[in-house]
Amino acid sequence: MLQIVCWDDNSVFMEHRFVTPSDNFINAIVVCRQRIIDANAEEVMKDLLSKPLTGKPNAADITVESPLERPEVPLHIQKWVEFNDLSSANLRNDC
């Protein structure tokens, strides 16, 4: 399952769950950040969410979910972004 969790002005955060169909066991959860370049993520999401989905996914068991309005950024994603920002700042200071 793929779910758009949230977005900010620059990025869209998605969660991918790898689930065993026979028992619904969650094998892995992957959160990824997709950076939007030369555009505002809020405007991109408004445009995408205003259009109906067309076509079918390649695999019948793929589900895509997304909220209709900009959701709050969950705490675990806030902390992840903070960590990445601190890590990047530390790397820049070491050079």
Cβ–Cβ contacts within 10 Å for residue 6, how many? 20
Please say if the pLDDT value at position 93 is more than 90: no
Cβ–Cβ contacts within 10 Å for residue 13, how many? 21
How many domains, in total, are found in the chain? 1
pLDDT digits (tens, 9 = 90+) for 56-72: 555 444 555 666 778 89
- What are the distances in angstroms from CA 78 to CA 7, 8, 26, 70, 82? 11, 11, 23, 15, 6
Do the beta carbons of residue 77 and residue 5 sit within 8 Å? yes
> Which residue range is the domain that position 86 belongs to?
2-94
What are 27's two structure tokens?
């094998």
pLDDT digits (tens, 9 = 90+) for 14-50: 999 999 999 999 999 999 999 999 998 888 888 887 7
- Quote the pTM value: 0.72
Residue closest to 69 by CA, chosen among 52, 43, 46: 46
- Phi then psi for residue 45, to 5 deg, are -65, -40
